[in-house]
Amino acid sequence: MIVPTGDREEALPAEWYTLSSDEVEQTLGTGPHGLSREEAEARLQRYGANVLREEERETRLQVFLRQFASILIVILIVAAVVSFFVGEPQDAAAILIIVVLNALLGYSQEWQAGEAIEALRQMLVQKAVVIRDGKQQEIDASGIVPGDLVALEMGDRVPADLSLVEATSLQVDEAPLTGESSPVDKATGPLTPETPLAERSNMVFAGTTVVNGWGRGVAVATGMRTEFGLIAGLSQRVRAEATPLARQMDVLGRDIGIIAVGIAVLAIGVGFLQQREFLEMFLIGVSLAVAVIPEGLPAVVTLTLAIGIKNMMRRNCLIRRLPASETLGAVSVICTDKTGTLTRNEMTVVRVRTPESEVAVTGTGYAPEGEFLRDGSAIDPLADSDLRQFLRAALLCNHATFAGDEAGEWRIFGTPTEGALVVAAAKAGLSRDDAPEAVREFSFNSTRKRMTIIYREGDGDVAYVKGAPEVLLDLSSRLFRDGAVVPLTDDLRDALQQELCGYASRGLRVLGAAYRPLPGDVPRTAEAVEKDLIFLGFAGIVDPPRPEAAEAIRLCRSAGIDVIMITGDNPLTASAIAQDLGLSSEGALTGADLEAMTDDELARRLRTTKVLSRVTAEHKLRVIDILSRDREVIAMTGDGVNDAPALKKASIGIAMGIKGTDVAKESSDMVLVDDNFASIVAGVEEGRREYDNIARFTRYLLSSNVGEIVAIVGGLLMGLPLILIPVQILWINLITDGPTALALGLEPAEKDVMQRRPRNPDESILTRSALLVILVIGAWLGLLTLYAFSGFYEVDIDRARTMAFTGLIIFEMYNVLNFRSFRFPLHRIGFFSNPTLILAILGSLGLQALVVYVPVLQEFLGTAPLTLADWGLLFLLGLPILLAGEIYKILRLRSEEKGRTPA
């Protein structure tokens, strides 16, 4: 394997797990005494520091400048420059103020984004214990080099990828790397080349944690060459996808730019034919360009998304990037991790099978609260001799402890499976407070698949054994049944083995327990002690689903959202959890299955198979690529380091806020503050509401702008003077694009918002029907404005322009009420259900009154005072705009409801 190290490259074997300890030491020139100090320093120069290469961060200036990378923003800047050079500096200043405010809003939301690699780097341990020159010493983890002999103890974070040379009861939590929910047993010895990452028991990996035992390993990979580092590199290579809204806004901006230029050129051409003066023609062209461009649209979109972010935060969805909130509303597939997302990541005993009977155990998590049920009825576990003996053996052959904090949260210290047994014993009222003296222990490893602790009880010793039930059954000749020790017959052994298979098929992790009173002449060795055992039974342990997850999946289904479980856990467990949650799937696909399939084959299977197990980071990226090929909008949830590349690649990455790693959070677009899968559904509803509102005010703004164009072009074709000057058009756009449009973005969600299928991400905000409505309403607004102007221009041009100017704003205030809903009339949604919009309309009319009557503003905007009769005329002219929209919606809704009524 050629591995980059800055400007250098070093050739090292790729498959360390296939080598024996001696071969690893020989290859790396090390041994039991470790490296010498001089050799370690030389290798540090050769291989580089044990740190992750940091991705180049954007500067504050770069983040700010990126806010201008929008076609609409570029068009606005061009319009400002043109306005300045034609002698309209106030127009230019107003446009630039809008542009800068929009950029500041976007910048304030995005500065904290893009810290994934920094979080990855900081997850490497700061200190590590190594053996150099035959002496144990603590060094900075960044100084570890290939060949270093590293010592590991319980609680240590592994500092580099290590090949184990010693391991005693060593168990490692690899969930952040592989997604495996339970600690992995580690042992020395070579493995076959086809052994997958999650099963490389002779290796420990950087960023994982030792939860039991101790060991020593030779560092074989450091920094970016570790499995951890490979994921970091993968994250660096993944580019974030543009959101559907961003793509649509770019297309809209491009189209508006083309239309603006085309209309301006057409108007100037008509002016030439009418032999008008050049300056007047140029002003007409600029006026039309300003009229076409919705100056406030980028700012209103930004503000609406920012307000939506606050709403989502109240629903425990922390949005890290502005467009992500709207994107969530378009999600059609959620690829979700299992451990800690759909499940609680807390192992729990749910069944205990003694040779006499089966007992169900209630309660979840690590709280010592629950009951023991036989045939649905509660029993006293201490009165049942078989159950009591099993729980006592499981408690004594155990190193885990648990404790609660002031907030009532319970934590396990030790492995989760051992912790589950300790908690089950505590539910029965058992503890180690009166435990006898332990005199000997034979530790667990992946070969033995059992552990034994010998206690001094009375005048003799008793061995308590815990491990794989099938192994304990083979070592047992008797069993404890109904309070007595009886022979273990072949029929009883076969019956217990059959029940074991049933537990496994339900996705339960199974641990058995046995014991043996030791005669004085039995040698205290594992071989002599661990035979002729008395079998006590076994416990079924599960990582329970979150109680809200099943309902959340059901709601996703009703909203047309597909859910795919992607996990590093084993397929039986994953399938069982999926079944409990009501997630329908035709079997499960493993990582090996994915590698054996072509992309087309996998795409077909993903339509019916919703459980993917034993998958790697590369597999997750491939799944997202395949789903993206089918134009799906994908949300990826996760909490581990291994989820980071997929979180970054997905349309929207969703990290867990409580159990999620910093890497997952910094690679995501959204963080679930409460780790509750159900919060995603609430986020989807909010995202759909946001998009609906963005569509509402976009269409409203464009219909208003069409009205301005019709008025100006109509006046030009009729040979009239310029109806509206550029600064008046800009003021109209500020009034309509500002308070009212923003208030329209606060419109509550429609009642059936979660009963619709996700929208097509390729569908434009401006559908054909929407364009027709925009053109019809716009033409109406324009013609009314022409009418208001034409009655006064021959007498007083300033008053005529003020009538057209004020009339257009009044007409658009009526129009904004039309766009509160595309389907429901006002009496259905409630006239005052959006009080902010009512206040915005009144505020806009009040501002217009100031413009009409305040002398300074009159001079700036070229207005003249209007009479009360003038205002009354304008209000009457605009009223039919609202009435027509209401009548249309009422008739359309009746038609829809009649079509749904059974004959």
Specify the residue for token string 């009951």: 371
What is the pLDDT, as a whole number, of residue 237?
52
By DSSP bridging, strand 2-5 and strand 8-11 are: antiparallel
HEC string of 576-643 equals HHHHHHCCCCCCCEEHHHHHHCCHHHHHHHCCCCCEEECCCHHHHHHHHHHHHHCCCCEEEEECCHHH
- Select from 713, 731, 733, 735 the least CA-distant residue to 722: 713
Instruction: Enter the tokens of residue 9.
Output: 């490259």
Q: How far apart are CA 687 and CA 75, in angstroms?
A: 28
Choice among 337, 384, 562, 737 that is catalytic? 337
48: exposed, middle or buried (C-beta count within 10 Å: 0-12, 13-18, 19+)?
A: buried
HEC string of 546-577 equals CCCHHHHHHHHHHCCCEEEEECCCCHHHHHHH
Ranked by mean pLDDT, the top range of 146-160, 336-350, 376-390, 635-649 is 376-390
**Domains with residue ranges and CATH for the chain:** 2-55+121-237 (2.70.150.10), 267-316+686-753+762-900 (1.20.1110.10), 327-343+547-675 (3.40.50.1000), 348-542 (3.40.1110.10)
pLDDT 10s digits, 596-655: 999 999 999 999 999 998 887 788 889 999 998 888 899 988 776 667 778 888 888 888
What is the pLDDT, as a whole number, of residue 587?
87
Stated pTM of the model: 0.65
Is-contact 358 428, C-beta < 8 A? no
Average pLDDT over residues 286-290: 66
What ranges make up the beta strands (E) of 45-160? 127-132, 135-140, 149-152
Q: How far apart are CA 663 and CA 873, in angstroms?
A: 63
CA–CA distances in Å: residue 418 to residues 349, 366, 395, 780, 829: 10, 11, 8, 75, 56
- Select from 629, 638, 617 the least CA-distant residue to 565: 638
Q: How far apart are CA 329 and CA 685, in angstroms?
A: 6
Residue 482 catalytic? no
Average pLDDT over residues 652-666: 74
Least confident among 223-232, 425-434, 805-814, 881-890: 223-232
**For 244-277, b where at least 16 C-beta lie within 10 A, e where not — what string?**
bbbebbeebbeebbebbbebbeebbeebeeeebe
Residue 425 has pLDDT above 50, yes or no: yes
Residue 351 has pLDDT above 90, yes or no: yes
What is the pLDDT, as a whole number, of residue 248?
65
Instruction: Enter the tokens of residue 444.
Output: 């667990």
Residues shown for the chain: 903
Q: How far apart are CA 325 and CA 301, in angstroms?
A: 12
Q: How far apart are CA 392 and CA 372, in angstroms?
A: 15
Residue 394 has pLDDT above 90, yes or no: yes
Q: How far apart are CA 327 and CA 723, in angstroms?
A: 41
What is the pLDDT, as a whole number, of residue 95?
65
Specify the residue for token string 């749904």: 900
pLDDT 10s digits, 201-222: 899 998 888 877 788 999 999 9
What is the pLDDT, as a whole number, of residue 125?
39
What is the pLDDT, as a whole number, of residue 742?
80
What is the pLDDT, as a whole number, of residue 1?
34
Give the pLDDT band of residue 745 (cuts 50, 70, 90).
confident
SS3 of 166, please?
A: strand
Query: How far is residue 593 CA from its own chain's centroid?
Result: 26
**For 281-303, b where at least 16 C-beta lie within 10 A, e where not — what string?**
bbbbbbbbbbbbbbbbbbbbbbb
What is the pLDDT, as a whole number, of residue 808?
93
The residues, ordered by sequence, that sit 6+ positions from 707 with a Cβ below 8 Å of its Cβ are 777, 778, 779, 780, 781, 782, 785, 808, 811, 812
pLDDT 10s digits, 147-190: 999 998 876 788 899 999 988 778 888 876 776 656 788 889 89
Is-contact 43 50, C-beta < 8 A? no
Phi, psi of 237 (to 5 degrees): -80, -20
Give 384 or 157, the one with higher predicted confidence: 384
pLDDT 10s digits, 821-868: 888 889 888 888 999 999 999 999 999 999 999 998 888 788 999 999
Least confident among 54-58, 304-308, 345-349: 54-58
Average pLDDT in the chain: 82
pLDDT > 70 fraction of the chain, expressed in percent and rounded: 84
Q: How far apart are CA 866 and CA 872, in angstroms?
A: 10
Specify the residue for token string 């219909």: 703
CA–CA distances in Å: residue 216 to residues 32, 164, 296: 10, 6, 64
What is the pLDDT, as a whole number, of residue 86?
63
pLDDT 10s digits, 17-61: 999 888 999 999 998 889 999 999 999 999 888 887 655 556 677
Specify the residue for token string 């008793």: 462
What is the pLDDT, as a whole number, of residue 866?
93
* DSSP per-residue letters across 698-759: HHHHHHHHHHHHHHHHHHHHTTPPPSS-HHHHHHHHHHIIIIIHHHHTTPPPPTTGGGSPPP
- Select from 217, 408, 303 the least CA-distant residue to 742: 303
Give the pLDDT band of residue 448 (cuts 50, 70, 90).
confident
Is-contact 841 740, C-beta < 8 A? yes
